A and B are shown apart, each in its own frame.
Chain A
Amino acid sequence: MIAFFLRRFCWMVLTVWVVFTITWVLANFAPGTPFDREREMPPAIRANMERRYNLHLPAYQRYGIDLRKMAVGDLGVSFKMQDFTVNRVVAECWPASAALGLLALAFASLVGLLAGIVSAARRGSFADVSLMTIATVGIALPNFVIAGFSILLFVFLIPLLPPAGWGSPRAMILPALCLGAPYAAYIARIARTGMLDVLSQDFIRTARAKGLSEWRVVMSHALPIAVMPVVSFLGPAVAGIITGSLVVEKIFAVPGLGYAFVQSALVNDTPMAMGLTVLFTILLFVMNTLVDFAYTLLDPRVGWTT
């Protein structure tokens, strides 16, 4: 087990380095500088600006400086929010993204699993067809459409919830619903397929033959196996969902990392873009490792050699 995690860790360091290098090259050779303004500045001031951002050094030297800083966890000061280090932005914004993402995920897993199980257990029934129809629609509808409808409904027609903002539990409900809806739909479909697969297997027939109730058969014998595909979907999904969502964060004015990430790339905020890319890489890697770890817990047939 320790060897497994150690090997994964080495792979992660290598992956992060490769990702860092590629993004560094892309970011540093993109056109424009962090201090581009409509008003042109005299060459002497421009030269000073370049010195401030080390742009006067040759590329390999800047790469060395940036890599050394990144290695010790110093992601530098944002170009566009000069009062904040990237570390501080991550520390302040990530909890918002993570809280929203986890809430959305809890909602998605609960609703998705329930719908999937019910659909599979009552295959072909009215409940199955309608649940799966809703799920298909949920996958097909983009976030912003769901957001638009839910704002109209819960803010302006039935004034229950605030339209946007951050700082109260009420403000989290709408964005969490909108963020979780497509995930719930995916989980429902995956859980249904997994469950149908398991329910047709021999050991389930044995369980039924023992005279166990349908509830016990589904919940205690079929479910642990049936959730396996859901778990492998959840790993990357968790990484994706807790690092924030561009659309939902923008519409609901959630101060999270998703929007910060996209914005940093658009406005040439290199330290921010670099830092977040590296952070997301690490997260994705850790989540995938945890999923593999979860397999070994859920399915005794999977061992440590993977």
Chain B
Amino acid sequence: MLSLRSMILPALVVLLPLAAAVWSVNTSRVERADFTFNNDTEIESVDPAVVTGQPEGRIIESLYEGLVKLDPKDRLPTKLGTAEDWTVSDDLKTYTFTIRKDAKWSNGEPVTAEDYRYSLRRFLNPLTAAQYAYQAWYIKNAERYTLGGDGIEAGDRVEVELNLEASQHNTCTGELLRGILVKKTPEKMPEDEEERRGVIQEFLVEIEGSQRSFVIGDPAYGDVAPEGSELCRLVTLDFGEVGVKVLDTRVIEITLANPTPYWPQLLGFYPLSPVNRKCLETHGAPAWTQPENLVTNGAYIVELRRPRDRIRLKKNPYYWNADAVKLETIDALAIEDSNTALNMYEAGEIDWVTQLDGTVVPDIMNADPPRDDFNPFPQLTVYYYKLNTTRPPLDDKRVRQALALALDRQEFIDTVTRGTEKPALNLVPPGIRGYLSPTIGEPDPERARELLAEAGFPGGRGFPRMEILFNTLDQHEAMAELARKQWQRELGITVTLQNEVWGSYLNRLRLKQYDIGRQAWTGDYIDPNTWLDMYVTDGENNQTGWSNPEYDRLISEAMSIVDAEERLAALAKAEAILVDEVPIVPIYFYYSRNLVKPYVRGFYNNLQDTHPLSAIWIDRTQKSPNPFMNPPAQ
């Protein structure tokens, strides 16, 4: 007879797991959505102010709507956003937006001008620490507001935010005191973060006739105010000084520092989406972002969120233009493995793959019969090597030119990226209307050797050993390896490879502890300025130590030019200086790699590789190629 003892284990081993598995699957079962795509990763947040990535952008653009909506075809501004109309002053600096009457939040309440003021204030507020805050710095005094204590000087109107009450959520604003800054001690904070931590800055502010001294600190963390000072949460420029004014419940006026032709485009970009104040302040972070609490004003709302699995979007019935939204439900999957995504696409489980892996691109491109769902399109992204011009011999222009002229870009594309990418001979990617980039000229190893000899290194003799710095990733390593080989072959110089994890790689770029560093840069808006303003003297993202007064002058001059053509001409002149001086060696321009099922309509190729979900619909009856496969309209 079998004893009880010997039965326990087999029973446990078999029954328990099955019960658990059945339970788990039953609680996680979902019906298939109208449209399913792979969003590549779990998004960082649905809070438009704190994120920067493309996966986040796809979700946030579906959930929220800015004053301006960008066209799904060419990504240029349209009046189909929350603002039904806007006017611009003659100096192109003051925009007045009128919000449409039927614009509503997903809780049914109207969207007002005050909502946008609140959201812009929150976006620019130093405590939000928005990565994209600089996108709104075109607004008058916005940058000074964001810089907090660093942005104010004696005599400025300032506001002091007191610490929150214990009952208040971290998303609330503390009591605000307004006054005039009398002085800061010390006047200037050290730039270095380590030193900065050791310095306590005191702000002496005159409020309603009496002078009070404030120090930033929170008693909840055990901070104690020095003798004669009070603790506060924040000291900034008075937000009233920033160029954002509510003129009426539905009218908001935004004043810019300079005429900025791409300002409406930036307003359509997702970081400037409005958030619902009541929702934030009632629930606090991160609770306000949960599907049951989240209030948005766009075409969709979040129905379900399962971390690392999917975000289920549902059509927002309160959206003013809900009639134009065709898909009832959308699933955004967070599959990180591109082969898995491709498998699911080929098996018909998903309708759109946003990124194909380089290893399969040649097969897809050369498929026979030709595929009806793959159509690469140029992107506003450039891959390049930065040269640290503070380190000899890279301080010699001829050496930099030699490095740039020696590289055969096509070989990089054929052997590493393996797609339709195009060789880059300048910084600004092609495709921007009205702008034609100057180039460094076709690669010419002969000329490169001459230049190197002129600089004192004939045949590479005497050239010091240099290092290519990149963040750890197979593709970057293959690129660097090829650059090493080509420079060795053409110029006779020796470079070594150095990979670092993301954090240390960025640190070394920032501290200029590198010789040659890899980078890729995507334009934030469709204008050459987004690349060119990086390389002004001491620009935060310059990091090459390169500086040219004429270049700086052209960039700042272009900012105030009202005439579009003249402005682009000034920018082209600046880029001509850049490609002549080569602080950076451009390698290639990116192409998109979407796979889109033929029955998907309303999906268009564009320079930003952005495809708003609210424009998409499914039509399985039409047999003609979808617009995605058609030649670009431009």
Contacts and interface: CB of A to CB of B under 8 A. Distances in A.
Contact of B126 (A30, A36, A48, A168): A48
A42 B21 contact: no
B28 interface: yes
A291 to B, nearest CB: 11
Interface in B407-461: none
B600 to A, nearest CB: 19
A39 B541 contact: yes
Residue in A89, A109, A259 with the greatest tally of chain B CB atoms within 10 Å: A109
A39 B271 CA distance: 15
Interface string A140-165: 00000000000100011001001111
B340 A47 contact: no
Given A82-B50, A220-B2, A89 B307 contact: yes
A44 B502 contact: no
B79 interface: no
Contacts of B333: 165, 253
Contacts of B187: none
A32 B507 contact: yes
A193 B596 CA distance: 54
A51 B29 CA distance: 41
Interface residues of A, number: 83
A303 interface: no
A106 B504 contact: no
B349 interface: yes
B193 A47 contact: yes
Nearest to A234: B13
B343 interface: yes
Contacts of A252: 340
Contact of B503 (A32, A46, A156, A162): A32
B146 interface: yes
B172 to A, nearest CB: 15
B337 A251 contact: yes
B372 interface: no
Interface stretch (A7-15, A93-101, A121-129): A93-101
B360 to A, nearest CB: 14
Contact of B29 (A33, A46, A102, A167): A167
A99 B336 contact: no
A164 B344 contact: yes
B632 interface: no
Contact of A44 (B3, B131, B148, B222): B148
B633 interface: no
Which size class do B's interface residues fall under? 35 or more
A74 B578 CA distance: 52
B502 to A, nearest CB: 6
A172 B340 contact: no
B504 A31 contact: yes
B20 to A, nearest CB: 5
B616 interface: no
B5 interface: yes
A19 interface: no
A134 interface: no
B307 A37 contact: no
A2 B455 CA distance: 82
A204 to B, nearest CB: 15
Contact of B24 (A33, A83, A99): A99
A36 B543 contact: no
Contact of B8 (A77, A223, A297): A297
Contacts of B146: 42, 44-45
Contacts of A96: 24, 28, 309
Interface stretch (B41-49, B153-161, B259-267, B480-488): B41-49
Given A31-B503, A31-B504, A42-B540, A220 B3 contact: yes
Interface string B314-354: 00000000000000000001111101110110110100000
Contacts of B309: 96, 166-167, 253, 255
Contacts of B347: 155-156, 159, 162-163
B307 A92 contact: yes
Given A81-B45, A105-B17, A250-B340, A169 B25 contact: yes
A151 B221 CA distance: 53
Q: Most B CB atoms within 10 A — which of A156, A172, A255, A298?
A: A255
B577 interface: no
A267 to B, nearest CB: 8
B2 A82 contact: no
B28 A166 contact: yes
B343 A151 contact: yes
Contact of A172 (B25, B45, B289): B25
A55 to B, nearest CB: 9
A32 B504 contact: yes
B623 interface: no
A164 B346 CA distance: 11
A50 B197 CA distance: 10
B166 interface: no
Contacts of A202: none
Interface in B135-156: 146-151
Contact of B286 (A47, A83, A155): A83
Contacts of A151: 343
Nearest to B347: A163
A103 to B, nearest CB: 4
A260 B16 CA distance: 25
A231 interface: yes
Contact of B306 (A92, A105, A219, A220): A92
B489 interface: no
B367 interface: no
Contact of A95 (B24, B129, B189): B24
A155 to B, nearest CB: 6
A106 B343 CA distance: 27
A282 to B, nearest CB: 19
Interface string B1-28: 1110110111001101110111111011
B13 A110 contact: yes
Nearest to A223: B6
A88 interface: yes
Contacts of A47: 193, 196
B286 A110 contact: no
Interface of A: 30-33, 35-50, 52, 54, 56-57, 61, 77, 80-85, 88-89, 92-93, 95-96, 98-100, 102-103, 105-106, 109-110, 113, 151, 155-156, 159, 162-169, 172, 176, 219-220, 223-224, 227, 231, 234, 250-253, 255-256, 259-260, 263, 267-268, 294, 297-298
Interface of B: 1-3, 5-6, 8-10, 13-14, 16-18, 20-25, 27-30, 42-47, 50, 52, 126-127, 129, 131, 133, 146-151, 189, 191-193, 196-197, 221-222, 285-286, 289-290, 305-309, 333-337, 339-341, 343-344, 346-347, 349, 500-504, 506-507, 510, 519-521, 540-541, 543
The 6 closest A-B pairs by CB, nearest first: A32-B503, A102-B17, A99-B24, A255-B309, A106-B17, A163-B343
Given A43-B189, A83-B46, A156-B346, 13 more contacts: A32-B501, A38-B519, A40-B543, A44-B126, A44-B147, A98-B24, A105-B13, A106-B13, A162-B344, A163-B347, A167-B30, A251-B340, A297-B5
17 contacts: A31-B503, A35-B129, A39-B52, A44-B150, A44-B189, A82-B47, A83-B289, A89-B307, A93-B307, A106-B18, A109-B14, A163-B340, A253-B309, A255-B306, A268-B502, A297-B5, A297-B8
